[in-house]
């Protein structure tokens, strides 16, 4: 079995193209992927829900070529397709798509875990906590951005950042990592939410080193003023966060963990092939760590999907042997194509087929016991 360890990247090699040509990318340091054996049992104790923000099959295909014809996603044999449109738009945003994935309800763009008429709907994380499980999230954006917010808060607008943070801090979340400390400490209402959670017994970390030193939960790690840095600058924060989350969340009753590759979306919006690929590689390396852990555990369901596609990427040419691609972007926004669902572990067969994003959530919810 190959190791899922994340290597440090030699940034000097990337100065060769410096991502200057937005439609070209060459992978100079391909990484080894893992090979895991799916467990035969049927008990689902833990659920790990991985969301690549803006990551559709075009981006995954380009990443596969760039890494020499291999990804950790290759381990999935159970594959489905989900439709991502929102209640009021054919092309969704992350708030509405996240709400569908987190709650099983379609809503209007911009709304956080509420129906279009502002009725609060329960998320998968809240369901898990009600059943006595621990719940957490690890992201590369601010923790109060749309996707993490839908699992631990409810709001008619994703712009209500301070209220969303207040709700997340009171939600019972056991592990939370990402950026956005300014929304916890530099607030219009004068509150210091980090001080409040410490009083409740949370450990708090402002750096990766502080996070990794924590041995007991609950833990909130906010390692950036707003968003985290892009992949090549932030290093292995996401894989490290997930490694720590698996350590702290693991318990007899099980857990629910949402992991987001948040900045895949940024690469699509910016129409930069290099940025997009590096963020997918960070996400896929993290998946390798998850799959190796889940293989040892034997009772963990792993789901990988996206909230929407971004950038309208088309893979035009390239070389698997030379690990290079040429792409085209058709938009700087989102697009409305259907999205892949990859499932691994007990009950993975439940996720084969074509269905709404809300149905994906419903199928996961049935397994939270």
> Residue 220: which of 199, 198, 247 has the closest Cα?
198
Task: Average the pLDDT over 260-280 and give the result.
Answer: 95
Question: Rounded distance, CA 149 to CA 260, Å?
Answer: 12
Q: Which residues of 287-299 are buried (b: 16+ CB within 10 A; e: fewer)?
A: bbbbbbbbbeeee
179: left (phi over 0), alpha (psi -120 to 50) or beta: beta
Convert the pLDDT of each residue in 286-304 to its tens digit: 999 999 999 999 999 999 9
- The owner of tokens 């014809």 is 69
pLDDT (tens digit per residue) in 124-182: 999 999 999 999 999 999 999 999 999 999 999 999 999 999 999 999 999 999 999 99
**Fold of the 11-365 domain:** Alkaline Phosphatase, subunit A (3.40.720)
Residues with Cβ within 8 Å of 184's Cβ and at least 6 positions away in sequence, in order, are: 165, 169, 192, 193, 194, 222
Confidence band for 10, pLDDT divided at 50, 70 and 90: low
Is the pLDDT confidence value at 2 over 70? no
Contact 127, 175 (CB under 8 A): no
pLDDT, mean of residues 295-317: 98
**Per-residue pLDDT at 51 exceeds 80:** yes
What is the spatial distance between Cα 261 and Cα 184, in angstroms, rounded to a whole number? Answer: 22
Task: Answer yes or no: are the C-beta atoms of 282 and 231 closer than 8 Å.
Answer: yes
Look up the pTM and report it: 0.95
Is the pLDDT reported for residue 17 higher than 50? no
Q: What pLDDT shows up at residue 124?
A: 98
Residue 12 has pLDDT above 60, yes or no: no
Question: Distance between CA 257 and CA 12 in Å, rounded?
Answer: 35
Peptide bond into 123 cis (omega under 30): no
Q: With residue 302 as reference, give the H or E element that holds it.
A: strand 300-310
Give the per-residue pLDDT at 6.
Answer: 46
The H or E element spanning position 355 is: strand 353-356
| Residue with more model confidence, 284 or 3 | 284
Angle between helix axes 357-365 and 94-103 (nearest 10 degrees) is: 30
Q: What is the pLDDT of residue 19?
A: 57
Indicate the helix (H) or strand (E) that contains 96.
Answer: helix 94-103
Query: Is the model's pLDDT at 1 over the cut of 70?
Result: no
Joined together, the tokens standing for residue 241 give 């966060």
Give 207-235 as a 3 state SS string. CHHHHHHCCCCCEEEECCCCCCCCHHHHC
Tell how far CA 39 is from the center of its chain: 23
Q: What is the pLDDT of residue 217?
A: 85
Inform me whether the pLDDT recorded for 317 exceeds 90. Answer: yes
65-112 pLDDT tens trace: 999 999 999 999 999 999 999 999 999 999 999 999 999 999 999 999
If we measure between CA atoms, which residue out of 107, 225, 91 comes closest to residue 158?
Answer: 107
Over residues 184-225, the pLDDT tens digits come to: 999 999 999 999 999 999 999 999 999 999 999 899 999 999
């Amino acid at each position: 079995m190959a190791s899922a360890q994340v290597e440090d990247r030699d940034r000097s090699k990337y100065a060769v193209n410096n991502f200057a040509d937005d439609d070209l990318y060459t992978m100079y340091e391909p990484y080894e992927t893992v090979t895991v054996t799916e467990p035969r049992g049927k008990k689902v104790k833990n659920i790990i829900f991985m969301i690549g923000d803006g990551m559709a099959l075009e981006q995954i295909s380009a990443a596969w070529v760039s890494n020499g014809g291999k990804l950790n996603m290759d381990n999935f044999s159970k594959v489905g397709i989900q439709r991502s449109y929102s209640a009021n738009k054919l092309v969704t945003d992350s708030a509405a798509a996240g709400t569908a994935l987190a709650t099983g309800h379609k809503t209007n763009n911009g709304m956080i875990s509420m129906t279009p008429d502002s009725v609060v709907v329960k998320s998968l994380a809240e369901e898990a906590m009600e059943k006595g499980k621990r719940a957490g999230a690890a992201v590369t954006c601010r923790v109060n951005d749309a996707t993490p917010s839908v699992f631990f808060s409810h709001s008619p607008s994703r712009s209500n950042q301070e209220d969303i943070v207040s709700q997340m801090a009171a939600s019972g979340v056991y592990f939370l990592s990402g950026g956005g400390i300014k929304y916890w400490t530099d607030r219009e209402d004068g509150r210091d939410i980090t001080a409040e959670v410490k009083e409740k017994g949370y450990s708090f970390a402002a750096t990766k080193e502080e996070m990794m030193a924590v041995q007991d939960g609950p833990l909130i790690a906010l390692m950036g003023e707003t968003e985290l840095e892009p992949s090549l600058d932030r290093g292995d924060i996401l894989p490290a966060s997930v490694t720590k989350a698996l350590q702290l969340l693991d318990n007899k009753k099980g857990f629910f963990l949402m992991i987001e590759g948040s900045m895949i979306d940024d690469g699509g919006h910016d129409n930069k092939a290099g940025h997009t690929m590096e963020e997918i590689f960070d996400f896929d390396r993290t998946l390798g760590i998850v799959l190796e852990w889940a293989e040892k555990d034997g009772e963990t369901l792993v789901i990988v999907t996206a909230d929407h596609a971004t950038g309208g990427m088309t893979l035009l040419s390239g070389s698997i042997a030379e690990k290079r691609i040429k792409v085209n972007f058709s938009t700087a926004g989102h697009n409305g194509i259907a999205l892949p669902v990859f499932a691994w572990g007990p009950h993975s067969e439940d996720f084969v087929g074509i269905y709404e994003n809300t149905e994906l959530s419903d199928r996961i919810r049935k397994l939270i016991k």
